[in-house]
Chain A
Amino acid sequence: MTFVKKKKKISKKTLLFYCAFMLWPVLQFAVFYIAVNFNSFLLAFKKVDANLNFIEWTIDHFSIWFKDGTTPNLRLSAAIVVSFKGYLISTLVGMPMGLLFSFYIFKRLPGSMFFRVMLYLPSVLSSLVLVLIYSYFVTAPFRDILARLFTVSQDSKFVYSEVKLMGRGQVSFATLMFYNLLVGFGVSVLLYANKMSSISPDLIEASELDGVNTWQEFFHIILPEVYPTISVFLITGIAGIFTNQYNAYPLTKGSPVPDSTTIGYLMYDNVVDAKDNLADVKLAQTAALGLMLSAVVIPTTFLVRHLLLKYGPSED
């Protein structure tokens, strides 16, 4: 006896509901992704005059980034270094800290619930507010604290010239990264802790019966279980290398020092510089850079994903 699967007939009403439901997201995707990227693609190859009249197709907007000694080339070289540094710090410092603290919460050690709430609490605030609080703190109060601790007069030039934590254009990369680790900590702890809480208690109990100690539990049971979440962070982080600006704009009021300018900020800066002048070559150059970075980031992301799946720990 064979069963023929009957194609379910969709009523007009359902179809209408579906179309109405999907219209807005599809339209958004079409306008803000397809159209924008298509336009950006064309822009990267187009040379126009100040009145936006087409002159010719060109690859100059790409090649300028590779010409030795040009400003775009120098800026990009420096930004690549800063971006990779940022990724490494986030990955090598932020991630282990987040995992360890999540484990602390998972183990329900003293104050774990309090920390869980308190760490996440700043995430409720607008990031702009957090940036303001942080920048206020590391300017005057921090300088004053240092001055008092080291009994240095507040008028002393030591305070202003040596402690380059804040002040327009004076945010050091370390200050910037410290802020990013600080604000990212709560979210990562929450995500890891949630993932850990989904681990079967039977598994933990069994391991305890087998006599594993806390570190063995962390490395051999918890980490493999949390690995999918870690993978997501690592994979999305790859794309972040090319887009993240580590809050450089709000923290420096749009004027980061060269040591704090990431690729993401460089692209943003170029576009903001051009303002509404569509004829400005900076826009076309940025579109070209975006295309080149896409060509790098897409295969890299897939490669990293492949490697993480292939060589990562197994839950078995």
Chain B
Amino acid sequence: MKHSVVKKLLCGILAGISACTMVACGGGGPNGPDNHDRPTDTSKTQVELFNYEAGYGREWVDSLISRFEEAVKDVSFEEGKKGVQVWYNGAQQTFKSQELSSAPYHVFFQENCDYYELRRAGVLVSVNDIVKQNDLTLWDGSSLKTQLEAAGYPLDNSVESKLIDQQKAFYTGDGTNDYFAVPSYMSTWGIIYDVELFDEEGLYIVDAHDGNFHLESDIGYEEYDRTVGPNGKAGDYDDGLPRTYDEFWSLCTKMKNKNLIPIAWSGKHELGYLSSLGFNLLNTALGSEQMMLNYTFKGLAKDLIKVSGNGEFVFDAQGNPVTEDVDITTIRNGYETFRSSGVYYMVDFLKNLLDQNVSYYDDTIRGNNFSHTDTQRAFIEWGHMNGRKKIGMLEDGLWWLRETIPSKNKVYGDSSNFLKTHKYGWLPLPYPTEEMADRGLAPVLADSLNAFGCIKSGVSAGVRDACKALLLFSCTDASCLDFTVKTGSPKGLEYDVPESVKADLPEFTKQFIQFLNEADKVYNFSGLDFYNSNKATFQPASRFAATVRGKYQKSVIDGYIYDSTVPSKEYAEDIYATAKSFFTTYSWTADQN
């Protein structure tokens, strides 16, 4: 009897442990209906919206919904109904074709989702009318544009006119010239710096006309003007920030000497974060025109490193790569783009960044379990905590500010005042060399999220039109501006941010907008059949896979964590050799030339 009770008790405890672990591993599903606490108004068209709710959160969607509902309150999308009620649903979830067609939502804002897969499966509604004509003919023959204008919400330029050529080619894709989605936001990874720390510690670079590197805080150099920064223009936001890789490392060394942690990034997501940084360094080094060759694999490729007869890169006596221009006439020779000097410089930068002997990072933050929000919190808080070193720069995505506000708790109590009282800045990525910085090329904003809005096919005509109207409304300048104000990031459309709007924005966003106004945009996608058949191979994290010293390394980050002794020249040669092997052994079809 006693044994039986003990057994039952043990069984109960074990079952409990088991259940607890199951519960601990659970969660992560959709957040569920969120603005569903208001009453349903059946006199209005009902639209279910799904938002990929991650770094940018939902505030911008809430704002879009309330502005849209107000704008179309007198518009009829279905007979007998007037106005629209949009119900918000959000989670970190993307929808493939089968999931999308069975999901209980009508309109989707997705990111990192395969647009071509959805398009191919025929689960999306064509949005040609709103993209090309900037209008929608409703069930009663009336024009949406006219009604919106009457309601005080004029539609500006057409959506198509706000797209760059690369976007047009991508969204119309297979040559049918049909759009099935509109761009949503764009985003990128980059370097954020603590403006207050830079001010306090005098970390801006000054031009003492002696050819040497000096900071404002260096004794005797306080009165010199700050250098022109990466954009080469004096008197603007990036003055005193590093213009070349050499300046960047010199700055990091001086920061280290001041007992600061020069730069931090998420240890947990190191591969993704640093691969994206590397890719953006490449974008900056190449400029938008040359970068586009990485998506078309055809055209005049400039600054390719010469290859000797034994397959080695040729460097001059000063240790600089000897370059040449090559006209790539067939995509089968697209591997030539992998020997651009930009790839070599990117490898060199990442090698330095990960160098354990120099260590510009903090070991704890690089730990396996230090997430991106942990790192953000450390960036904000460590400077105010005893026994912790201050962090000068953070490598993160543009969404970091919005993402980190809810997570901060130890130092700043009131999040509403946070942005007003603390300044962070956008550090435009430096160029590899002085010569490259002097080319006068526009900086590049490389999108990494491929976010778009789309509508599920098979919904009733009235709901479909309401969804189209919502997407069109999301592309107006006013909505784009609203997004920028709410998130500090750009939409994937061309629009201006007026000075009047900038005034109220946080310092970080102001600086980023100045960068944005100067930058060319490049999206990480291509309409090329070959590219889309090998998309996995060409993603930033795996694009520079290489067999280095007999070991396959999926990324430069992996490679240098595994073996930090490999010289960057050798690594870049291996990247080129691996790419060449891939292209030359590829099973080409007759029409792929």
Which of B120, B357, B561, B578 is A157 in contact with, Cβ under 8 Å?
Answer: B357
A51, B174: Cα distance in complex, Å: 8
Cβ < 8 Å to B, chain A residues 242-288: 253, 255, 257-259, 261, 273-282
Q: Let me know if A169 and B561 touch, CB within 8 A.
A: yes
- Cβ of B585 to closest chain A Cβ, rounded Å: 5
Q: Does A11 contact B (CB under 8 A)?
A: no
A253, B587: Cα distance in complex, Å: 32
Shortest Cβ distance from B554 into A: residue: A255
Residues of B contacting A259 in the complex (Cβ-Cβ under 8 angstroms) = 551
Residues of B contacting A278 in the complex (Cβ-Cβ under 8 angstroms) = 117
Q: Let me know if A47 and B587 touch, CB within 8 A.
A: yes
Q: Does B221 contact A (CB under 8 A)?
A: no
A67, B582: Cα distance in complex, Å: 11
Which of A49, A159, A170, A258 is B589 in contact with, Cβ under 8 Å?
Answer: A49
Q: Does A307 contact B (CB under 8 A)?
A: no
The verdict on A136 contacting B114 (CB below 8 Å), with A258-B551, A258-B552, A273-B542 known, is no
Q: Let me know if A124 and B536 touch, CB within 8 A.
A: no
Shortest Cβ distance from A273 into B: residue: B536
Residues of B contacting A55 in the complex (Cβ-Cβ under 8 angstroms) = 589
Q: Does A135 contact B (CB under 8 A)?
A: yes
A250, B314: Cα distance in complex, Å: 42
Cβ < 8 Å to B, chain A residues 114-133: 121, 124-126, 128-129
Q: Does B187 contact A (CB under 8 A)?
A: no
A117, B24: Cα distance in complex, Å: 23
Q: Does B418 contact A (CB under 8 A)?
A: no
Which of A50, A61, A75 is B532 in contact with, Cβ under 8 Å?
Answer: A50
Q: Let me know if B552 and A52 touch, CB within 8 A.
A: no
Cβ < 8 Å to A, chain B residues 518-572: 529-537, 539, 542, 545, 547, 550-554, 557-558, 561-562, 564
Residues of B contacting A274 in the complex (Cβ-Cβ under 8 angstroms) = 535-536
A277, B539: Cα distance in complex, Å: 13
The verdict on A281 contacting B533 (CB below 8 Å), with A55-B589, A69-B581, A160-B363 known, is yes
* Centre residue among B536, B537, B581 by max chain A CB count within 10 A: B536
A281, B25: Cα distance in complex, Å: 33
Cβ < 8 Å to A, chain B residues 258-290: 267-268, 270-271
* Centre residue among A67, A70, A161, A168 by max chain B CB count within 10 A: A168
Residues of B contacting A257 in the complex (Cβ-Cβ under 8 angstroms) = 558, 561-562
Q: Does A193 contact B (CB under 8 A)?
A: no
- Cβ of A168 to closest chain B Cβ, rounded Å: 5
Interface residue stretch chosen among B13-21, B197-205, B374-382, B438-446: B13-21
Q: Let me know if A78 and B551 touch, CB within 8 A.
A: yes
The verdict on A280 contacting B534 (CB below 8 Å), with A52-B120, A126-B22, A161-B356 known, is yes
- Cβ of B400 to closest chain A Cβ, rounded Å: 20
Q: Let me know if B368 and A255 touch, CB within 8 A.
A: no
Q: Does B162 contact A (CB under 8 A)?
A: no
Which of B22, B271, B356, B552 is A74 in contact with, Cβ under 8 Å?
Answer: B552
Q: Let me know if B368 and A166 touch, CB within 8 A.
A: yes
Q: Does A181 contact B (CB under 8 A)?
A: no
Q: Does A64 contact B (CB under 8 A)?
A: yes
A166, B370: Cα distance in complex, Å: 13
Q: Does A145 contact B (CB under 8 A)?
A: no
Residues of A contacting B534 in the complex (Cβ-Cβ under 8 angstroms) = 280-282
* Centre residue among A50, A70, A155, A274 by max chain B CB count within 10 A: A50
Which of B96, B268, B533, B582 is A70 in contact with, Cβ under 8 Å?
Answer: B582
A276, B589: Cα distance in complex, Å: 23
A269, B191: Cα distance in complex, Å: 30
Shortest Cβ distance from A139 into B: residue: B368
Chain A interface size range: 35 or more
Residues of A contacting B542 in the complex (Cβ-Cβ under 8 angstroms) = 273
Residue total for B at the interface (Cβ-Cβ under 8 A):
55
A160, B589: Cα distance in complex, Å: 48
Residues of A contacting B18 in the complex (Cβ-Cβ under 8 angstroms) = 124-126
Q: Let me know if B368 and A276 touch, CB within 8 A.
A: no
Residues of A contacting B366 in the complex (Cβ-Cβ under 8 angstroms) = 167
Q: Does A36 contact B (CB under 8 A)?
A: no
Cβ < 8 Å to A, chain B residues 40-95: none
Q: Let me know if A282 and B536 touch, CB within 8 A.
A: yes
Q: Does B249 contact A (CB under 8 A)?
A: no
Residues of B contacting A135 in the complex (Cβ-Cβ under 8 angstroms) = 368-369
Q: Does B367 contact A (CB under 8 A)?
A: yes
**Complex interface bits, B368-410 against A, C-beta within 8 A gives 1, otherwise 0:** 1100000000000000000000000000000000000000000
- Cβ of A48 to closest chain B Cβ, rounded Å: 8
**Complex interface bits, A229-248 against B, C-beta within 8 A gives 1, otherwise 0:** 00000000000000000000
Which of B356, B364, B532 is A277 in contact with, Cβ under 8 Å?
Answer: B532
**Complex interface bits, B95-135 against A, C-beta within 8 A gives 1, otherwise 0:** 01000000000000000001011001000000000000000
Q: Let me know if B535 and A277 touch, CB within 8 A.
A: yes
Q: Let me know if A140 and B357 touch, CB within 8 A.
A: no
Q: Does B359 contact A (CB under 8 A)?
A: yes
Residues of A contacting B533 in the complex (Cβ-Cβ under 8 angstroms) = 48-50, 279-281
Residues of A contacting B562 in the complex (Cβ-Cβ under 8 angstroms) = 169-170, 257-258
Q: Does A39 contact B (CB under 8 A)?
A: no
Q: Let me know if B561 and A49 touch, CB within 8 A.
A: no
Q: Does A214 contact B (CB under 8 A)?
A: no
Which of A50, A60, A273 is B116 in contact with, Cβ under 8 Å?
Answer: A50
Q: Does A314 contact B (CB under 8 A)?
A: no
A49, B532: Cα distance in complex, Å: 9
A91, B209: Cα distance in complex, Å: 70
Q: Does A58 contact B (CB under 8 A)?
A: yes
Q: Does A294 contact B (CB under 8 A)?
A: no
Shortest Cβ distance from B366 into A: residue: A167
- Cβ of A262 to closest chain B Cβ, rounded Å: 13
A160, B582: Cα distance in complex, Å: 35
Residues of A contacting B25 in the complex (Cβ-Cβ under 8 angstroms) = 126, 128-129
Q: Let me know if B267 and A258 touch, CB within 8 A.
A: no
Residues of A contacting B270 in the complex (Cβ-Cβ under 8 angstroms) = 168-169
Q: Let me know if B368 and A167 touch, CB within 8 A.
A: yes
Q: Does A194 contact B (CB under 8 A)?
A: no
Residues of A contacting B536 in the complex (Cβ-Cβ under 8 angstroms) = 273-275, 277, 280, 282
- Cβ of B529 to closest chain A Cβ, rounded Å: 4
Residues of A contacting B553 in the complex (Cβ-Cβ under 8 angstroms) = 258
A125, B18: Cα distance in complex, Å: 6
Q: Does A71 contact B (CB under 8 A)?
A: yes
**Complex interface bits, A24-46 against B, C-beta within 8 A gives 1, otherwise 0:** 00000000000000000000000
The verdict on A169 contacting B367 (CB below 8 Å), with A78-B551, A126-B22 known, is no
Q: Let me know if B561 and A71 touch, CB within 8 A.
A: no
Q: Which residues of A contact B (CB under 8 A)?
A: 47-52, 55-56, 58, 60-61, 64, 67, 69-71, 74-75, 78, 121, 124-126, 128-129, 135-136, 139-140, 155, 157, 159-161, 166-170, 253, 255, 257-259, 261, 273-282
17 A-B residue pairings within 8 Å (CB atoms): A47-B589, A51-B116, A61-B587, A69-B581, A70-B581, A71-B581, A126-B21, A160-B356, A166-B368, A169-B270, A170-B562, A258-B551, A259-B551, A276-B114, A279-B533, A280-B533, A280-B536
> A126-B24, A166-B368, A167-B367 given. 9 additional CB < 8 A pairs?
A50-B532, A129-B24, A161-B564, A169-B561, A253-B268, A257-B561, A277-B114, A279-B116, A279-B532
